[in-house]
A and B are shown apart, each in its own frame.
Chain A
Amino acid sequence: MDAKKIREDFPVLQREISGKPIVYFDNACMTLKPRQVIQAMNEYYENYSACVGRSIHKLGNEATEKYENARKTIAKFIGAKKEKEVIFTRNTTEGINLLANSLNLQKGDIVLASDREHNSNLIPWQILGKKKGIERRIVKSKPDETFDIEGFKNMMSKDVKVVSIIHSSNLDGYTLPIKEIVDIAKDNKALVILDAAQSVPHKEVNVRKLGVDFLAFSGHKMLGPTGTGVLYGRYDLLENLNPFMVGGDTVERTTYDSFRLLPPPEKFEAGLQNYASMIGLAEAVRYLDRVGRENIEKHEKELSRFITGEMQGMDGLKIIGVQDPELRGGIISFEIDGIEYHDVAIMLDDQANVMVRSGQHCVHSWFNARNIPGSVRASLYLYNTKEDAETFIEALKTITKLR
């Protein structure tokens, strides 16, 4: 995999700011878009920007074909059995909210999660707890911040109806042992929802091999257009779920007093959709397939290993969360003693155009439980190079001199 060659496809990376190239290390939040994705979207707007699935004219047919092809491409990408298991959403958050509102959970049902869930996989269940009286249980991490599989096993019971859990954490990049988690959940007949926002873009994820029932991810974190997401669901489960938003395109027929819903995925996709962006997302998927996700994972790990090694020699710098770069993938979260995380982020940007994220990364619960005010997060992707990593380290070395 040639990251330097890959960079040529990304218009943003051709920019210089104040005469310096951009070092984009905020990929856990939003990735940059290659030319191919932008072109695919433009093509929709320029050549066939019509309604999908309703209009039977030529442009409508063309748009429908491209849109449904996009669904097929994405289904294949995650190893779904059929494309009808792929629901288009705006993002991971919408996918999880859809499930929280559609699964018919009752008072006393238990939803289990890890202690490092993104707010998207925390608040929907908290609200459901208030509205319907479902119970929530949190599996605490081990002292080294890895997942406590024994603790999880002990917390499982027949009352646990849903395990809604993160795959790779956006706070430190740690990937949970999801196969074991699924096996234990299945033994107890619990449904498994996987928040795969940080895993699908970076590594091979196959829903059937993992055995998950539902899986949500965002397109904008994997070279796709903004405001795109996917919710995968096992077809037999989707068939029995009630949609949480309804309207145009979700029904077969209505009378003044009744309606008949369409089968999945249509019944979950209410109203006109973001066609151009989904077609763009399929192009992003093809791009990632061409590069190969195993190559991306390997590349990120290499960079992460290099950065971690360099950081270990820096006075006052502490990596937070799981320490071993082999378990962490392409995310490095850290704090510098005596310098606030936002200051570090602003200075990295100012000194060397190194763009990172600072704060609590929407995992406030984890930070607050540990009394950590926040961290600086560098998150890598396929277009980052060793030179990027060196620039980052050099800038960090300068900043640590402030201590």
Chain B
Amino acid sequence: MSICVAALVVFAFMGVFSARYRYWAKEAFDCVGRRVTLRPCKTEFNQKVRAKITSKLLKKSQKAARFTHKHFEAISWVFTIILFVSLILTAGGLYNLFTYGTCDPAQPDSCIFTVQEGVCAPACMPCNCGPHEIGCDAPEYKACNGNCQCVCESMGSVTS
């Protein structure tokens, strides 16, 4: 069961980028749907994932493959817990970022996304983007077809 849920989250994300993972996401979704309605997993999704992973490991290390195959349920629970803890922490961080302007209000410096106040345009450092460089209205301001960002100085620290 655990692997269905974890896989659903992971494959749903990866499915955004590749149709191959959309197929797996669909299977995982079907499996989760069946499990929550107390029906057996028709697609034997757990088994497919377990066998695929074991098979890949078998080519590299028999020991690791045997261990994974034997303790797959436990391993998948560990990964599921890790996944959910990370998801919860990420959600909290995002909430803080939008509410307080930093993902860690206790130690704003430790969060790379902390928003720095300051006026960018006049203090822009010149970009060096080669032939694609184009001029902006302000003489010091240069943008490069949107490919590179202006770097601006404010309150003594450099932000982008």
Contacts and interface: CB of A to CB of B under 8 A. Distances in A.
Contacts of B59: 351
Interface centre among B50, B58, B62 (most CB of A within 10 A): B58
A403 B59 CA distance: 15
Interface in B35-80: 44, 47-48, 50-52, 54-56, 58-59, 62, 65-66, 69
B52 A346 contact: yes
A342 B58 contact: no
Interface string A370-403: 0000000000000000000000000000110111
Interface centre among B44, B48, B51 (most CB of A within 10 A): B51
Contacts of A339: 69
A343 B58 contact: no
A350 interface: yes
Given A342-B44, A399-B58, A402-B58, A347 B66 contact: no
A346 B58 contact: no
B44 A347 contact: no
A346 B47 CA distance: 9
Nearest to A340: B47
A337 to B, nearest CB: 13
Given A351-B59, A402-B69, A342 B54 contact: no
A345 B55 CA distance: 11
A346 B66 contact: no
Contacts of A403: 66
Contacts of A347: 51, 54-55, 58
Contacts of A398: 58
A197 to B, nearest CB: 25
Interface residues of B, number: 15
A402 B51 contact: no
A402 B65 contact: yes
Nearest to A403: B66
Interface string A327-356: 000000000000110110111001100000
Contacts of B47: 340, 342-343, 346
Contacts of B54: 343, 347, 402
Contacts of B58: 347, 351, 398-399, 401-402
A398 B50 CA distance: 16
Contacts of A346: 47-48, 51-52, 55
Interface in B1-57: 44, 47-48, 50-52, 54-56
B91 to A, nearest CB: 35
B71 to A, nearest CB: 13
Nearest to A342: B47
Interface in A197-233: none
Interface of B: 44, 47-48, 50-52, 54-56, 58-59, 62, 65-66, 69
